[in-house]
Each structure stands twice: as C-alpha cells, then as structure tokens.
Amino acid sequence: MSVIEAQNVSLTFPTADGPVHALSAVNLSIERGDFVSFIGPSGCGKTTLLRSIAALETPTGGSMSVAGRDPDAARKARAYGYVFQAPGLFPWRTIAGNISLPLEIMGFSKSGRAERVARVLDLVELEGFGGKYPWQLSGGMQQRASIARALAFDADILLMDEPFGALDEIVRDRLNEALLQLWRKTGKTIGFVTHSIPEAVYLSTRIVVMSPRPGRITRIIDSPLPAERPLDIRDTPEFIALAHEVREALREGHAHD
Amino acid sequence: MTDGTLPMPAIRSFRLPLAKAAPVVTVLLVIVAIWYAAAIGMNARWERDQAARAGTQIAPSQLVLRTLSQDRPVLPAPHQVAVGLYDGIAGQKITSRRSLVWHAWVTLSATLAGFAIGTAAGSALAIGIVHSRSMDQSVMPWAVASQTVPILAIAPMVIVVLSSMGITGLLPKALIAAWLSFFPVLVGMVKGLRTPDAMQLDQMRSWNASRAHVFWFLRLPASLPYLFASLKVAIAAALVGTIVAELPAGATAGLGARLLSGSYYGQTVQIWAALFTAAALAATLVAVVARVERITLRKMGMQA
C-alpha cells in the first residue's frame, strides 16, 4: 500500500515576473518502508515537493494523499516528522528539552516524554547529551538531535530536506551510515531531499530525479543495491553504475538548457 | 563518537582592579578639573560686580577662592555639590522634607509604578501587533505619534485634568512615566516576537502547534533578549517622565519638585544635588535591570 501518493500535482507561485511553475505534472507513489531520495539541481522543485507532502505548501493542481488522507489532515494527525536543513534547535532549551518540545505541544505526559526522549537520544547516539545546550554541541550532533526530535513522536514518515547539506563530508558520511541503520531499525518511510549523487545512491531504495523549469520528475530509479550497505559499497561496480545512471538522468533533464 | 562539547568559557577577561579603574578615574579627574575651571569662570563676574560696587579691588587669588564658596553660584563647584548631596542624604532624617532620600523615594515609587504600567502596556500592544494584521497597521503610527508630542507640554495637562477628577499623588506621575516607557518596550517586543524565522515557524506548523504554543514556546523566549534591552531604556525613560511630571506647580515632593523649588529660589546647589541624585537613581535602576537580565538569560542557557 502506498503511503504517499501524488497524481498530476502542480504548484505555481505567482511572482512579480509572472507565475513560476515550481512543480508540474508530478506523479509519484511511495510505498511503506521506502527510502526515497529526491535529487536535482536547485530550482527543480524537490524541496517544494517535500513541503507539499508535509502540507507546508499547497499544490495548485492535482491530488495528493499522505498516510491515506489529504496532506493537511496528515499534518494535523502528526503523521510525519520533518527535519530541516538547519537543526533549528531552540538555544534556551537543553537538547532533551528541544526533543521534548513537540511532545509537550502534542500533550504527552511528563513520564511519557522522559521515556521517549531517552529512547530517541539513544537511537541517534546522543545518550548523555540531553542536559547540554545546543551551543555546546558540534553541527553534526545538533543535526542528529534535530533528527531525534523528529523521531520522538513516532510518526511513520520521516521527511528530510537536505539535512546534512551544511556538514563536512566526513561527518556527512558517518551520519549517512547512522541514518541507514536507523531506517532499518525503525522501518520508517523516508523522503530525503539532496543534491549529492553519492548520498542519494548510498541511502535510497528509490531515487527520484527531478529537473527545473518547470519542476518535474524526469526519472524514477529503483536501486538494485542490497539493504545492508557498508560505507565501502560505494567502491563496488553496482554502486558506480547506479551513480552513473543518476548522473545521466540529471543530464537528460538539462538537455534543453 | 568523541565528546564534541565545546569548552565552557570559564576564564573571563582577568584584569587588575587598578588597571580597570585607571581610565575611569582619569576621565573623572578631567571632568572635575573642567568643572572647577568653569565654576571659577562663571562665578567670577558676580564677585567682580560686588567688588566694583563696594569700590574695592580684588586680588586674583582672593577672587578664585570666593568663586568657589558662593551661596548662590551660577555654577556650584564640585565640593559644594558634594556637601549639598551629603547634607541632603545623610544630614537629614529620611522622613524629613529636606531629605533627598525621601524625595528620591517619592520619585522612585512613581517611576516603578509607571515602569510597570508602561511595560505591561507595551508588551500587550506588541503581542496584539504581532498577532493581528489590523493592529499591526493601526497601532504603530499612533505609538510613534505619541512620542513626538513634547512630554513637557502633555505632563501639566494630564496632572491638571486628573487632579480635577480627584486623582492626585502617585498615579498621575506614573501615567506620565508609562507614557514614555511603553514605547521602547513596544518596539523591542515587536522586534523580538518577530525574530523566529520561517523555518522555526514551519517547524511548529509541522507539529500542528497552536498560536498559543508558538507564542509561549517560541516567540516569547526568543523575544527576551530584545525585551531586556528595551527595559533598560524604558526604566530610564520612566524616571525622566516622573521627574517631568513633578515639575508642574503644586508638586512639593520628589526630585522634580526639588529641582523646581531650587530654581525658584536660586538654590543652584540644591538643583545640582537633586540632579546627581536622579542620575545615581537612574544608574542604579538600569544596573538592576541588567542584573536581572544576566540572571534570567543565564538560567535559560543563553549567554548574556
């Protein structure tokens, strides 16, 4: 059963220079437990598509469903956790306090909150850092805390918008590996926006290649890679072939430029 | 994973007290020297006139000495002000009408009441402006206009109108103080409540947070550094407002009344003593707010 479904979705922003077609005729179906990456150059609408799934944008055409209902109802039912490009931790709250924030808003009991905070801190390997303030943590640790926050209320869907884009490559590799482990452990459906080909290939079960003007899907590639992926899988011929295929698809989308 | 915590800034700038005090003392000495020179210059004319009227000559050294010990100098010398201050603060019973402590207390109580009213009004308006589009467009121009009206013109009217309604004492003065102090709070709070960026607001939206949640969990804590900066301006403004409100005829208590009666009777020493008391009061109030700010922000984990 597909968890996220988009049929002929389009989204147009009115601007002073005329309408901008951020999304055009997008058809997509994401199955439960999929790890789907959205990749493409800037302006291809990958973030807009993710935000539409999260009901942070409203498509101007087509239909969309998330967890069996319309995206806004899914948002209100707290069907997804969203990880933004920046950690966005509140400086006046400790790490535990930050992770507990959505739980407070959602009305979890105090003991329920404490139990969940401890569990997700463990999940992102930040046990022992709950009492620290954000400025006391490195950028990578802050982003892991923000992932923990998105996981804390047990949404089945995790939407991530270039979560590691601001981090250096060494930290990014480690976090990618940790994210894969976390995905296997929790069985969540993940939507992941990136502009890095290796990152998309390493993480995904499906790669959605997008192109700009108007923002659209040019190809959806199913990954033949096994679920178990050590970091050195990136040196195998299968990985390199897949990365090549993604690169070709990106180039196709640019053919008319 | 290695411990990625950053070192706490345990070592603050460490300087000898003397090295820290030297620039301050230097500036102070320069000011005092200029002040003495000015006092001699400004008061000399009266001494020369006196001498001319008596048909006597006055030696320069004699002239200097006399300019520094006049009863009603144009500009009292620092030591005269110091004596006046000492006499006003320590030389009287603090319940006496001649005690600067008593006058300062009268002014302080109205200042604090006005500051409280102003802070509450400024915050309430800011919350309204941030949450309501129509308030956003309608309130700010009026708030700005209110500050362009000279307070010296408004204060006597407010005092007179309120006293004709039987309201006298602390409240009218507090209202004038509030008039001046709500504005910085309003401006600072609007700015502070609007600091959360689009991403933080989207984040709250993704959790289906209500407006109340957004306010209590995000906007209010984010605004506190701005609020404290405003409060420091506001409390000084409240003191100015109170003193201005004490100036209109009829007021017999407070530092403003002290200033006015001093100028009526040419008691310049009294004026300067009251001025210095007011300045010390303002400095103390701002320092108290700064202290509360540091404690609060530190408790919230923010580095102040």
Q: Which pLDDT score is estimated for B252?
A: 80
Whether B202 and A92 lie within 8 Å, measured CB to CB: no
* Among B118, B183, B160, B171, CA closest to B248: B160
Contact B300 A88 (CB under 8 A): no
Percent of chain B with pLDDT over 90: 52
Query: Could B302 and A54 be called an inter-chain contact, meaning their C-beta atoms sit closer than 8 Å?
Result: no
Mean pLDDT of A5-12: 91
Among residues A66, A80, A56, A81, the alpha carbon closest in space to that of A29 is found at: A66
Tokens of B258: 């002290």
Q: Where is average pLDDT lowest: A127-136, A248-257, B100-109, B130-139?
A: A248-257
In whole angstroms, give the CA distance from residue B177 to residue B170. 11
Q: What is the pLDDT of residues B181-198, one digit of tens each?
A: 999 999 999 999 999 999
Quick check: bond before A214 cis, omega within 30? yes
Burial degree of A29 (CB within 10 A; 0-12, 13-18, 19+)? middle
pLDDT the model gives residue A34: 93
User: Inter-chain contact B4–A138, Cβ cutoff 8 Å?
Assistant: yes
Kindly indicate the confidence band of residue B10, based on its pLDDT and cuts at 50, 70 and 90.
Answer: very low
pLDDT at position B59 is 85
Strand partners, A31: A2
Is B301 within 8 Å of A91 when comparing Cβ atoms? yes
What is residue B54's predicted lDDT score, i.e. its pLDDT? 86
Q: What is the pLDDT of residues A44-95, one digit of tens each?
A: 889 999 999 999 999 999 899 999 899 999 999 989 999 999 999 999 999 9
CATH of A2-79+155-253, one of 3.10.20.30, 1.10.606.20, 3.30.300.30, 3.40.50.300: 3.40.50.300
Tell me the DSSP string of A162-190: STTTTS-HHHHHHHHHHHHHHHHHH--EE
Phi, psi of B61 (to 5 degrees): -65, -40
Please answer yes or no on whether A91 and B302 come within 8 Å at the CB atom: yes
Residue for token digits 């006196």? B50
Task: Confirm or reject contact between B205 and chain A (CB < 8 A).
Answer: yes
Torsion of CA A165, A166, A171, A174, to 10 degrees: -30
* pLDDT for the residue B14: 55
Q: Could you read off the pLDDT of B44-71 as tens digits, one per residue?
A: 888 888 888 888 888 888 888 888 888 8
pLDDT tier for residue B215 given thresholds of 50, 70 and 90:
very high
ipTM for the complex?
0.89
The pLDDT of residue A147 is above 80: yes
- Per-residue confidence (pLDDT) for residue B2, from 0 to 100: 43
- Please indicate if any CB of chain B lies within 8 Å of the CB of A163: no
For the ranges A131-135, A157-161, A229-233, the lowest mean pLDDT is seen at A229-233
What is the mean pLDDT of the segment spanning A24-52? 91
Q: What is the pLDDT of residue B1?
A: 40
Q: How far apart are CA A197 and CA A242, in angstroms?
A: 10
Two tokens, residue B38: 């000015």
Instruction: Report the sign of the C-alpha dihedral through residues B12, B15, B18, B21, in that order.
Output: negative
Q: How confident is the model at residue B12 (pLDDT cuts 50, 70, 90)?
A: low
User: Would you call B140 exposed, middle or buried from its count of C-beta atoms within 10 A (0-12, 13-18, 19+)?
Assistant: middle
- Could you say which residues from 81 to 140 on chain A have a Cβ atom under 8 Å away from some Cβ of chain B? 81-82, 84-86, 88, 90-94, 101-102, 104-106, 125, 129, 132-133, 135-138, 140
Distances (CA, A) of A210 to A27, A163, A196, A201: 12, 18, 13, 15
Closest CA–CA distance from residue A248 to any residue of chain B (Å): 33
Contacts A–B by Cβ distance under 8 A: 66
Query: Which residues of chain A neighbour B4 with C-beta distances below 8 Å?
Result: 137-138, 140-141
**Which chain B residues are Cβ-neighbours of A138 within 8 angstroms?**
4, 6
Model confidence at B13: pLDDT above 60: no
pLDDT at A1: 66
Q: Token pair for residue A138?
A: 């490195």
Contact A56 B205 (CB under 8 A): yes
Out of B4, B222, B301, the one facing A94 most closely (by C-beta) is: B301
pLDDT at B289 over 60: yes
| A180 contact partners, CB below 8 Å, separation of at least 6 | A35, A202, A203, A229
B204 in reach of chain A (CB within 8 A): yes
In this predicted model, which residue has the larger pLDDT, A167 or A96?
A96
CA-based angle B28:B30:B31, to the nearest 5?
A: 65
Domain spans of chain A, in order of start: 2-79+155-253
d(CA A188, CA A184): 8
Nearest CA in chain B to A90: B218
End-to-end CA distance of chain B: 30
* Cβ contact, residue pair A105, B199, below 8 Å: no
Tokens 């300087």 — which residue? B15
Chain B CB within 8 Å of residue A75 CB: yes
DSSP code, position A69: B
Cβ-Cβ contacts under 8 Å for B50 (sequence gap 6 or more): none
Q: pLDDT exceeding 70 applies to what percent of chain B?
A: 93
Asked if B6 and A136 come within 8 Å (Cβ–Cβ), the reply is: yes
Supply A7's token pair: 């049929």
Which residue carries 């992941």 as its tokens?
A192
List A residues 196-235 in contact with B (Cβ-Cβ < 8 A): none
Q: What is the dihedral of CA A146, A148, A152, A153, to 10 degrees?
A: 60
Report the candidate in A216, A170, A243 with the shortest Cα–Cα distance to residue A8: A216
Question: CA-CA distance, A73 to B8, in Å (whole number)?
Answer: 45
Residue B216 phi/psi, 5° resolution?
Answer: -70, -40
Give A113's contacts (C-beta < 8 A, 6+ positions apart). A100, A103, A104
Q: Coil, strand or helix: which one is A236? A: coil
The CA distance from B43 to B223, in Å, is: 52
Q: Which of B199, B208, B221 sits opposite A78 (nearest CB)?
A: B208
Residue count of chain B, please give it.
Answer: 304
Q: Which of A51, A102, A137 sits opposite B5 (nearest CB)?
A: A137
215-254 in chain B: CB under 8 A from chain A? 217-218, 221-222, 224
Q: Which residue has the higher pLDDT, B259 or B18?
A: B259
pLDDT of residue A255: 58
Structure tokens at A217: 């899907």
Determine the average pLDDT of the residues in A174-191: 90
Q: How far is CA B174 from CA A178, B95, B189, B247, B282, in A?
A: 61, 22, 21, 14, 16
DSSP state of A156: S
Split at pLDDT 50, 70, 90, the class of B290 is: very high
B102 φ, ψ (degrees, to nearest 5): -65, -45
Which residue in B200, B207, B218 is closest to A78 by CB distance?
Answer: B207
Mutate to test the interface with A, among B203, B211, B296 (most CBs of A within 10 A): B203
pLDDT of residue B70: 86
| Beta-carbon count within 10 A of B206 CB | 23
Which DSSP category does B75 fall into?
S
Q: Among A105, A133, A136, select the one facing B213 at the smallest CB separation.
A: A105
How much is the average pLDDT of B206-226?
94
pLDDT of B204 reads 95
Token code pair at residue A209? 């290649």
Inter-chain residue contact B301 with A138, CB threshold 8 Å: no
Give the position of tokens 């144009």.
B74
Q: State whether B301 and A80 contact (CB < 8 Å).
A: no
Q: Is the dihedral of CA B246, B252, B255, B257 positive or negative?
A: positive
The reply to whether B206 touches chain A by the CB within 8 Å rule is: yes
B301 touches chain A (CB under 8 A): yes
More confident residue, B57 or B117: B117
Q: Which secondary-structure segment (H or E) carries A222?
A: strand A216-222
Distance CA A188, CA A33 (A): 5
Q: Looking at residues B27-34, what average pLDDT do you find? A: 94
* Per-residue pLDDT tens over the stretch A199-250: 999 999 999 999 988 888 999 999 888 888 888 898 999 999 999 999 999 9
What domains can you pick out in chain B, each with its CATH number?
1-75 (no CATH), 100-299 (1.10.3720.10)
Q: What are φ and ψ of residue A89, in 5° steps?
A: -80, 145
For the cut 80, the answer to whether the pLDDT of residue B5 exceeds it is: no
